[in-house]
Structure 1
Amino acid sequence: MTIELDHLLVPSHDRYAAARQLAELLGVPWAETGVGPFCPVYVNAGLTLDFDQAEGPFPVQHYCFRVSADDFDAILGRIRAAGIAYRSAPHGADDMQVGHWNGGRLVYWNVPDGHVWELLTVSYARQP
C-alpha cells in the first residue's frame, strides 16, 4: 500500500499574505482561493498547504522542506532578498547562519504567525 500526504491546513492570521510569502520564497504557485476558504500553496505535484484564516491564538507548527542543493541556494537567496531573519538551529536567536548536518545544509525561519519553517538538503529523519 502506498500512502502519500496530500494536504495540510496551516492556520494564519492573514492567509493571503502567508500563502503568498511562502510560495514566493519556495518558488512555487499559489492561489487566493481554492477548495473551501483556503489559500493553497502547491508545494509539488502531490502536496498542497492550505492556509486557513484563524482568529485568536493557535498552536505554532513546524514545517520542513527537503530540497536539492541548488534549490536550497535559490530559496535561501529569496529569504535573504526578502529581509527575513533566519538561523542555523531550530531554537534560539536568528544568527543569519546556515547550519550543517550530516553533509547537508539547513536553515530555520519564523513567519509573523509564529510558525517555524525549515529548509534542508539532507534528511535527519530518513538516513540513506
Structure 2
Amino acid sequence: MPATFNHTIIVSKDRNESAAFYRDVLEAAEAPSWGPFTNILLDQGVMLQFAEPPVDEIQMQHYAFLVDDEHFDRAYALLRSRDVEHWADPQQTRPGEINYGHGGRGVYFMDPAGHALELITRPYL
C-alpha cells in the first residue's frame, strides 16, 4: 500500500479555540477527541489533532490547504468578517490582499496559536 497522510498534531495555546478556528475556516467535521487532543477531520480521513504542550513558546509552523473556489470564497468572507489579518504573500508585504498564483487564488493568515496558514485553489504542482 502506498503511503498516505493520516494525521498531525498542531501545537496550540488553547486546543479548543484552535480546533474551532480550523473547523470554521476549513469547514471540517468534528472528530472524537481523547486525552490531550481536540480533533477535527478533513476529507479522505485526514485528522488534525490540537494539543497544548508543556512549553512556554510555540514554534511557528506552516500549513497549506487546497480548497475549491466556492470554499475559498466562503473562507475568505469568514476571515474578513472576523477581521483576521491576511496577506497575498508569505512575507506579509501585501496586507489585505489575495494572490492569483499558479492559475488560482491564495491567501495567508495566522491561526490563534501563531501558525501560518495558507489557502490555495490550485496546487503548486
**Counterpart in the other structure of 1:65:** 65
* Shift in Å, 1:94: 5.8
| Structure 1 alignment gaps of length 5 or more | none
Structure 2 counterpart SS, 1:13: coil
Contact kept, 8 Å, 1:85 with 1:96, in 2: the verdict is yes
CA RMSD of aligned residues (A): 1.6
**Counterpart in the other structure of 1:16:** 16
Aligned ranges for residues 22-61 of structure 1 at < 5 Å? 22-30=22-30, 34-54=33-53, 55-61=55-61
TM (norm. structure 1) is 0.88
| Structure 2 alignment gaps of length 5 or more | none
Instruction: Give the Cα separation in 1 of the matches to 2:13 and 2:94.
Output: 23
Of stretches 70-79 and 5-14 in structure 1, the one that deviates more from structure 2 is 70-79
**Counterpart in the other structure of 2:80:** 80
Q: Which amino acid aligns with 2:34?
A: V
The runs of at least 4 consecutive aligned structure 1 residues that moved more than 4 Å come to: none
Q: Which one scores higher on RCO, CA 8 angstroms, separation ≥ 6?
A: 2
TM (norm. structure 2) is 0.90
